Chains A and B, each alone.
Chain A
Amino acid sequence: MTTMANRPSAGTAHASTAAVEPELRGVQTITFAKALTLAMSDAMASDATVLVFGEDVGTLGGVFRVTDGLTRRFGEERCFDTPLAESGIVGMATGMAMNGMKPVVEMQFDAFAYPAFEQITSHVAKMGNRTRGQVRLPLVIRIPYAGGIGGVEHHCDSSEAYYVHTPGLTVLTPSTVSDAYIMLRDAIASPDPVVFMEPKKLYFSKATVDLDALRARYDGDSVLPSSIGKAAVAREGTDATLIAYGPSVAAALAAAETAAEEGRSLQVIDVRSLVPFDDETVSAAVRSTGRAIVIAEAPGFASMAAEIVARIQERCFHSLAAPVLRVSGFDIPYPAPRLEKYYLPGVDRILDAVDQLQWEQS
């Protein structure tokens, strides 16, 4: 640790004037971003090998403020800025994970993780397999992703397909404030490397959560089963199943709400864990309604949505009353801010797809 202690620490002087944040407890209304911060700070408090690093995560607290306060609370050895190089960040995290640490690294935006692609796909994903399980890499790569925020080029990619296609990576994406906390803690606790995809447009969404109850999941003997590999039923319904994840869950729920007013009962599944994929929950849901639509913001071609559709038709064919449809992004580069409204799968597109589910045959 001597090299870290010797780091020049320019820039911290002003930040340190702020008081150390009191720990939030009990029932609180917090943002999605804050839930992520708390997940990291709780994990750091309970395990000294958990470290956070990346670009602008220290003094600034991250461009989305997700790491806000971690350097103040845990010091520069535990949460620090790196030189500006994503391959460097993930490569170094790999080595640190090989030597007893649990790095949680931040990629600043989806498209800026691409310089780290080789480290992620060639090393992070493969280490466990290459070593016949002797070296597991308990590291988390946090990636803010997807659009809906009016962001300029390279700031809105839905890049999940690259990671879900790579065997060896666990890929998670929460869509609720409590899942933000739970799933990030589960990711940090996982012995395997996790690509943790955070829908940017949810960062400042709020919900009231019981922090004591959330923390209790990780206390000593009462540790609850991990959320990894578990889809969630976001809304009950009987006529058709909408399957979504991350930024698209809200659109699915809104569509279900509108459909309900029109007398149609739509169930909504939040996939949450893209890899491992919860075939059991998804298949059971689709069998119960006999109709399914998969909704995702990424281009549809060769996508996570395509995978979900294929799995459903392989498993649920005899329960299906209509072909499984996709409502996804177009097969184009993510549009400039003033055109993104034409791209994003919204309520109308979802309801149009619902209308096409061959209702006359039921």
Chain B
Amino acid sequence: MTNHPEIVDHGGYAGHGEDYLLPSDAPVQLIAPEGAPMTAGDYKEPYALPDDATLLDGYERLVIGRRVNEQAGALVRQGRMAVYPSSYGQEACQVASDMCLRSSDWLFPTYRDTVAILGRGVTPMEAFESLRGDWHSGFDPHQYNTGLPTTPLATQLLHAVGVAHAAKLRGEDTVALALCGDGATSEGDFHEALNFAAVFHVPVVFLIQNNQYAISVPLIHQSVAPSLAHKAVGYGMPGERVDGNDLAALLAVLGHALERARDGGGPSLVEAHTYRMEAHTNADDATRYRSAEEVAQWVPKDPLLRLQKYLSDAGLLGAADTERFAAAAEVVAKTIRDGLNTETSPDPADLFAYVYSEPTPQLREQAFMLAEELSAGQPLEGAQS
């Protein structure tokens, strides 16, 4: 194994010229918003509708994901959490990411991807530790092969490239899936990540959840490229676009991209068209920059409704299933509620314990000083938290 980039043919589809890099002419859709299965569209790959069991499993995950968003929203309103960036309306992207990855693969999420993080097996308490404000993260990335949710935009994409590159050097068949938003595609790190991934030909897939807004800034002020998926072309990797509210299409497109990466086909970029139904976070006032009518247009495109209609019409979703899924979602919601309603007391001594593998003499001194202050029972001022 060499760490020199392969300068041979990277596995582009022989005879396809450069066109194979271009995304399909329209976002891939396998189930229409009204729930009807689509007759095969003219896409660049023969994407097939996932089987019934997979879709039913996906639907249950959507129901749970939606409940997580609702529960977290309620808790943040009650002041039990510092902040919650909601993925309400984007749950299909979250769920598809989890379903397409094996546990040995890696996920690199952003701050908005709590639902996907939970789907990786991270417990609610671990996932919410940073959002409730107790610590900057709450889980061990290695335990779940899941990167910490990242706030500095697009920076995690390079970490995904690195993990994938190391996997390649180590002879593992691990692939990495890295998530980002539409706004993040403007950051330099996004472009560096794509270029590195392509040059080193590593098994990584980038998924842009294009929810149309970066806080208040609409996509049209972010990019005038024909689509965000087209950005792949300049780096020499295939791009694809998909209806981000159609779980079936996401499973097909992401699944294909990840398999391609796993088979040594190299990186690719997927753009999922979706919509951020709620404000950027609880601190944001979305009425300042978009109309209620605009938001309302997206209600009928909801990812849950769509799959529910499809499954019901196909006779695959019975009342018992619906009840079972709702009950499973309630269990998750209750775990989150119970956890966040339990008083925690983050230990101030931890502030000094992990900055270095061994605290420096200065940190020991400072830890001692704080401990003395606390044992002297001094009231602390400063923060209102």
Report whether B382 and A85 are in contact in the complex, using a CB–CB cutoff of 8 Å: no
In the complex, the answer to whether B382 meets A251 with C-beta atoms within 8 Å is yes
Residues of B within 8 A of A346 (CB): 380-382
**Closest residue to B185 on the A side, CB-wise?**
A84
Which residues on B sit within 8 Å (CB–CB) of A61? 288
Contact, CB under 8 Å: A87 / B188: yes
Contact B289 A60 (CB under 8 A): yes
Judge whether A8 and B82 touch: CB under 8 Å: no
Task: Of the listed stretches A10-18, A20-28, A218-226, A268-276, name the one at the interface; the rest are far from the partner chain.
Answer: A10-18
| Interface-central residue, A112, A251, A254, A340, by most chain B CB under 10 Å | A340
- The size of the chain B interface, using a CB distance under 8 A, is 56
Q: A342 with B351: in contact, given A154-B152, A337-B82 (CB under 8 Å)?
A: yes
A283 smallest CB distance to B (angstroms): 28
Which A residues touch B131, using CB under 8 A? Answer: 152
A213 is an interface residue with CB less than 8 A from chain B: no
Inter-chain contact B151/A148, CB cutoff 8 Å: no
Q: Is there contact, CB below 8 Å, between A10 and B187?
A: no
- Contact assessment for A83 and B221 in the assembled complex, using a CB-CB cutoff below 8 Å: yes
Q: Which chain B residues border A130 with CB–CB below 8 Å?
A: none
Tell me the complex Cα distance, A356–B350, Å.
27
Binds B, one of A192-200, A307-315, A325-333: A325-333
Whether A345 pairs with B382 at a CB distance below 8 angstroms is yes
**Is A317 interfacial (CB-CB < 8 Å)?**
no
Q: Is the Cβ of A11 less than 8 Å from the Cβ of B218?
A: yes
Nearest Cβ on chain B to A170's Cβ, whole angstroms: 26
B83 touches A152 (CB 8 A): yes
| Chain A CB within 8 A of B362 CB | yes
B54 within 8 Å of A (CB atoms): no
CB distance from B283 to the nearest CB of A (A): 8
A63's nearest neighbour on chain B, judged by CB, is: B215
Residue of B nearest to A108 (CB): B215
Chain A, interface size category, equals: 35 or more
What separation, in Å, do the CA atoms of A83 and B184 have in the docked complex? Answer: 9
Smallest distance from the beta carbon of A30 to chain B beta carbons, Å? 20
- Judge whether A347 is part of the interface by a CB distance below 8 angstroms: yes
Q: How far is the CB of B53 from chain A (nearest CB, A)?
A: 39
Query: Scoring B residues 35 to 64 as 1 if CB is less than 8 Å from chain A, else 0, what string do you get?
Result: 000000000000000000000000000000
The answer on a CB contact under 8 Å between B223 and A336 is: no
B218 CB, min distance to chain A CBs, angstroms: 5
Which residues from chain A contact B189 at a C-beta distance below 8 Å? 115
In contact, B221 and A331 (Cβ under 8 angstroms)? no
Q: Which residue of A lies closest to B347 (CB)?
A: A339
Q: Is A150 an interface residue (CB 8 A)?
A: yes
Tell whether, in the assembled complex, residue B222 and residue A348 are in contact, meaning their CB atoms are under 8 Å apart: no
Question: A112-170: which have CB < 8 Å to B?
Answer: 112, 114-115, 147-148, 150-154
Q: Report if B352 contacts A (CB, 8 A).
A: yes
How far is B284's CA from A111's CA once the two chains are assembled, in angstroms?
19
A337 to B346, CA, bound (A): 10
Which of A55, A251, A333 has its CB near the most chain B CB atoms (within 10 A)? A55
Most buried by A among B187, B220, B385: B385
Q: How far is the CB of B290 from chain A (nearest CB, A)?
A: 7
| CB-CB nearest in chain B for A301 | B362
Q: Which of B216, B218, B223, B382 has the most CB of A within 10 A?
A: B382
- Asked if B335 is an interface residue, CB under 8 A from chain A, the answer is no
Interface readout for A231-265 with B: 1 if CB under 8 Å, 0 if not? 00000000000000000000100100000000000
Whether A337 pairs with B385 at a CB distance below 8 angstroms is yes
Which chain B residues in 204-239 approach chain A with CB under 8 Å? 214-218, 220-224
Residue pair A8, B221 in contact (C-beta under 8 Å) = yes
For window 227-285 of chain B, which residues contact chain A by CB distance below 8 Å? Answer: 283-284
Report whether A154 and B151 are in contact in the complex, using a CB–CB cutoff of 8 Å: yes
Cβ < 8 Å to A, chain B residues 341-357 = 346, 348, 350-352, 355
Listed in ascending order, the chain A residues whose CB lies under 8 Å from chain B are 7-8, 10-11, 13-15, 55-56, 58-61, 63, 81-88, 111-112, 114-115, 147-148, 150-154, 251, 254, 301, 330-333, 335-349
- 21 pairs from A and B in contact (CB 8 Å cutoff): A8-B221, A11-B289, A13-B291, A14-B289, A82-B221, A85-B187, A86-B187, A148-B383, A150-B133, A150-B385, A152-B133, A153-B151, A330-B351, A330-B363, A330-B366, A331-B355, A332-B366, A335-B351, A336-B130, A336-B133, A339-B346
Known A59-B289, A84-B214, A152-B151; 12 more pairs at CB < 8 Å: A14-B287, A56-B215, A60-B288, A82-B221, A112-B152, A115-B188, A115-B189, A332-B355, A336-B130, A340-B383, A344-B383, A348-B373
